[in-house]
Amino acid sequence: MKSPEPAKLHGYGVLWDTGAQCYRVRNEMTREWLRTAATGELAAFSSFDAAWGAWKVFEVHKRPGEQ
């Protein structure tokens, strides 16, 4: 059985999963991984822009410069 968290991820919030060759999204405040609603599996994004857009909605705290 695979681990519920991907190994060897790099970055902050939007992370590259080298094993799965996709981007993952993590809420850095709660350390919770974004999952698909239908299956509960880790959400996977093929482009950084798509992952960044999902992270901006998923991450609940304001980032520097936001009002």
43 found inside a domain: yes
What is the number of domains present in the chain?
1
19 found inside a domain: yes
Q: What is the extent of the structural domain holding 23? A: 9-58
For a pLDDT cut of 70, what percent of the chain falls above it?
70
66 found inside a domain: no
Confidence of residue 27 (pLDDT cuts 50, 70, 90): confident
23 found inside a domain: yes
Looking at residue 29, what DSSP letter applies? T
30 found inside a domain: yes
10 Å CB burial of residue 14 (0-12, 13-18, 19+) is buried
Which tens digit of pLDDT belongs to each residue from 39-66?
999 999 999 999 988 888 876 666 667 6
User: For residue 22, is pLDDT > 60?
Assistant: yes
13 found inside a domain: yes
User: For residue 26, is pLDDT > 70?
Assistant: yes
The Cα 26–Cα 65 span in angstroms is: 21
65 found inside a domain: no
Vertex 35, ends 22 and 21: CA angle to 5°? 10
10 Å CB burial of residue 37 (0-12, 13-18, 19+) is exposed
Contact 20, 44 (CB under 8 A): yes
Average pLDDT, the chain: 79
